Structure 1
């Protein structure tokens, strides 16, 4: 079944996700710039990055927005979507290596792994910040050339599957803990 959805509605939803992601990065920077990083909070953020950013936000882009852009605006190869999907893969890798480094730090009390984790999380934060800017400033405005998008999935389905609202609430709680308004 093909579902048609208003492009502006999708873009608005994705930009709101970007706002939540940028807020989570403020928390991340606060934690990693502290000599006594809280492993539990870093573990939570890594789970957030995997569930909210990759499995929810990127899924909405990759299932709903990007296919219509490729089929109706421009071919995939060399396109802005090609760049965005490539960058999603980079983020996915940085999340995975951060999971591994966190385990090494917690399980083995490996301070080298702790420092490598912090370095990789900073890389991830910088990468996501630049990626979001490209999407907000270039890809999303250009996407509005299409009035509607076609997909087999809805935003609501993806958000329900991934616990979107729970993650937003938990990030807000972590922001309070670290005094971020």
Structure 2
């Protein structure tokens, strides 16, 4: 596997791991306990910065255009589906943000987060199992290496040095505050 695709798949793993927070927050609410509005806001910020600006930025700014240049249509097929999913994901993130203010609505937040997680789990499966293997088939090794270099530069510019680690640390803190019930880890 190329470094470029490996990088995107590692980011997918981190995004999927972050979704355990949905189980933890849902469990907290089911127990009649409160979710902190600050924690909810920090999680949306994580999804926006890491999932959207950094990860989707790499795909939309570099991978998808390279695949279109290699002959895939942009207005139909897998690229169009991925772009539609990204747009839908942003709409769910907006719904999460709308649930934060003027007064925090935990149920609306968790409901929007649930819809986002369902969409993104399906989206990630499509990318990992269809789009990424397709990219490795239609792009040359030097193109994939160029993509990786572009990904590294994008990440440095968009989130900066050391921010990846800070975001992972934030996520670990949130997951520790909202532990999912043991059975939730199975799906």
Q: Pick one of 115, 124, 130 that aligns with 1:123.
A: 115
1:98–1:120: 8 Å Cα contact kept in structure 2? Answer: yes
How far apart are residue 168 of structure 1 and its match? 2.0
Structure 2 residue aligned with 1:141: 133
How far apart are residue 170 of structure 1 and its match? 1.8
Stretches of 4+ moved more than 4 A in 1?
none
How far apart are residue 92 of structure 1 and its match? 0.7
Unaligned runs of 5+ in 2: none
1:105–1:114: 8 Å Cα contact kept in structure 2? Answer: no
Q: Which has the higher strand share?
A: 1
Relative to the length of structure 1, the TM-score reads: 0.84
Q: Which runs of structure 2 are paired with 1:31-180 in the superposition (5 Å)? A: 31-35=25-29, 36-106=34-104, 113-145=105-137, 146-147=139-140, 148-149=143-144, 154-160=150-156, 161-162=158-159, 163-179=163-179
What CA distance in whole angstroms lies between the structure 2 residues aligned with 1:173 and 1:118? Answer: 18
Is the deviation greater in 170-179 or in 44-53? 170-179
Unaligned runs of 5+ in 1: 1-6, 107-112
What CA distance in whole angstroms lies between the structure 2 residues aligned with 1:169 and 1:61? Answer: 24
Q: Say if 2:15 is the partner of 1:21.
A: yes
Relative to the length of structure 2, the TM-score reads: 0.81
2:28–2:178: 8 Å Cα contact kept in structure 1? Answer: no
Number of aligned positions between the proteins: 168
